[in-house]
Amino acid sequence: MSEAQWWQRGIFYQVYPRSFQDTNGDGVGDLDGIRQRLPYLAGLGVDAVWVSPIYPSPMADFGYDVADYCGIHPLFGDLAGFDRLIAEAHRLGLKLVLDFVPNHTSNQHPWFLEARSSPNSAKRDWYIWRDPAPDGGPPNNWISNFGGPAWTLDTASGQYYYHAFLKQQPDLNWRNPELRAAMHDVLRFWMNRGVDGFRVDVIWHLMKDPEFRDDPLNPAYRDGEPEVSRLLQTRSTDQPDVHGIIAGLRAVLEEYGDRVLIGEIYLPVERLVTYYGDNLEGAHLPFNFQLLHASWTAPALARLIEDYEAALPKGGWPNWVLGNHDRPRIASRIGPERARLAAMLLLTLRGTPTMYYGDEIGMENVPIPADQAQDPWEKNEPGLGVGRDPERTPMQWDGSANAGFTTGRPWLPVARDHAHRNVEAQSADPHSLLSLYRRLIALRRTAPTLQLGSYGLVGTAGEALIFMREHEGERFLIALNLGDTPRGDIALPAGETHGRILISTELDREESVQGGFWLRPYEGVIVQLAKT
């Protein structure tokens, strides 16, 4: 245990600041609200709080269009408020991780305003500019991830600038050494204030094909999919020299010692694992999003876990994610029964788990009327179901008006079920999903085996997924029945005679087992086997 890093042992919890807690009645969450709720997070048992962007921004993409990397948007507070937040987090034993958005800025950032002022500007090369194609159109076929072309013409200079997302989010040129140095100083600014690490937004986008060749067409594209799916982004993303850039970021963190670098990466597993870097000099944790897209059947999950474990480089530490601010909530994807199984899976697999706010009470996607939609992607491509507002709605703290989130009008509507699906109600229910999360986290925190132990697939029995965690003679068998029929035939592994069920997802079983045990539909159990 003493040799493991805190980010290997710990549990991360993502806070979407706009939706966590509002303290001034404007309907938008703020830093004081996060600070007010830190005791809840410490009591839940998580170790690190990851805070989505809080920087000054025009909010074209809700903070992912940064206008100042070293400030706080007035909506959320100020730097003094941030300092109070981090001091209180550390007092409670919590780490604080900031979202870092290095791929692009706002078009209102002073850097871009200067770059756009003249082709001869000292900061012109801090962004990506290209002459038009021979026909006067965009330089290549790259598509914005939010729909439409990824190039916008600057009529004053006659050149196009590149933006992988909104036209208000011009991409930075990481090939420029002055830009890299400036961004490294941003990291130092926040670490000097005590920040414990960074989650790096769209890290696989940072480098583009130096020749700006077209992305190839996607032969699997179907009508009705987002426009960006028409292409395979093999030239506009995931370039070989991105790993040198990430190693540079990592080197800055190493100046400060015990910090963590997390990378957002939506790539197949064989590409994902390259972001650990040569000699593990890349991201400590390249986010593993496979559970966001998984088929929740026992054979599919078993294969997914095995393939990921096999792909990890030697010494690479695994991690798992069930949800985030860009993907539908887990309870909506797989249903409330399986959401309890997902909690047990997340907190018993080998590797660092990341939770998304509200998943611990089973929050579901909230339908957003078209006239209340906020997400720019949804506005750019309406009717495709790409909107991310449904998973960003206010945290449900209690059964009062607006779920205890705000005294004003919330920026997004609160779920209709908040009167019974909330922290206060579930804290009083010993069988609630929140109670299950608390029990699982408490066990994980006291059991080195669940933090650092080896993983071994025992097998599948129909829709039951069974695996083992082992460390220094302590062994846990985890069995998850993902099906709607009971299983009365779950045998202990060969050579095992007895054990004890420590936790059931239903929180109503703690019993000895001999030879084998049974599982109800959608039930999971953790069995402690006799020590070897």
Q: Give CA–CA dist 530/252, Å, rounded.
A: 46
The secondary structure of 445-477 as a DSSP string is HH-HHHHH-EEEEEEEETTEEEEEEEETTEEEE
Q: Give CA–CA dist 15/395, Å, rounded.
A: 10
The β-bridge relationship of strands 48-51 and 454-461 is: unpaired
Catalytic residue among 22, 61, 65, 201: 201
Interacting residues of 182 by C-beta distance below 8 A, sequence separation 6+:
none
Tokens 């209180």: give the residue: 88
Tokens 């179901």: give the residue: 385
Contact between 351 and 7 under an 8 Å Cβ cutoff? The reply is: no
Q: What is the dihedral of CA 496, 464, 445, 314, to 10 degrees?
A: 90
What secondary structure, in 3-state letters, does 313-325 show?
CCCCCCEEECCCC
Burial (Cβ within 10 Å: 0-12, 13-18, ≥19) of residue 225 = middle
The neighbouring-strand residues paired with 479 are: 466, 525
121: left (phi over 0), alpha (psi -120 to 50) or beta: beta
Closest CA to 48 of 203, 263, 197, 258: 197
Q: Give CA–CA dist 187/190, Å, rounded.
A: 5
Q: Give CA–CA dist 137/221, Å, rounded.
A: 24
Q: Any idea what DSSP says for residue 531?
A: P
79: left (phi over 0), alpha (psi -120 to 50) or beta: alpha
Q: Give CA–CA dist 111/116, Å, rounded.
A: 9
| 215 annotated active-site | no
What do you get for the CA distance between the two ends of the chain, in Å? 20
Instruction: Give the 3-state secondary structure of residue 117.
Output: helix
| 375 annotated active-site | no
Angle at the Cα of 201 from the Cα atoms of 392 and 293, rounded to 5 degrees: 60
Catalytic residue among 254, 255, 258, 472: 255
Q: Give CA–CA dist 233/209, Å, rounded.
A: 10
Angle at the Cα of 304 from the Cα atoms of 485 and 144, rounded to 5 degrees: 115
Catalytic residues: 201, 255
